[in-house]
Amino acid sequence: MDVALWAASFALIALAVIGNAYFSEEPLLYRAIAGLALVLAAAAVALFTQKGRQFNAFRKDALVELRKIVWPTRPETVQTTVVVFVVVFVMAVVLYLLDLGIGYAVSGIIG
């Protein structure tokens, strides 16, 4: 049964591609809506396969995990951003001075 469902799904996608080429003189909006409808229909058919059911279960589990995330507050975000900018600036200065020192050392050796 899965093979037939996958074949139907791929056939719908192929129909979207071929239909887009066949109706190339029609307005883009109509072709985009028809293509989107066919791709969504193909996805709906694919969800009835074994892999599709596994994907749907994975999607539901991912949404459950997403609800468990504790997002930082605005002050925490601002503080973290400031710390990142300060560290980047300090590292830029350190690397600039290191590059400057190595440049002087090499030019002193080379002449």
Q: How far is CA 20 from CA 32, 36, 41, 79, in A?
A: 8, 11, 16, 51
Is the pLDDT assigned to residue 111 strictly greater than 80?
A: no
Q: Name the band, by pLDDT with cuts 50, 70 and 90, for residue 1.
A: confident
pLDDT at 62 over 90: yes
Q: Mean pLDDT over residues 64-91, rounded?
A: 96
Q: What's the average model confidence in pLDDT over 5-30? A: 94
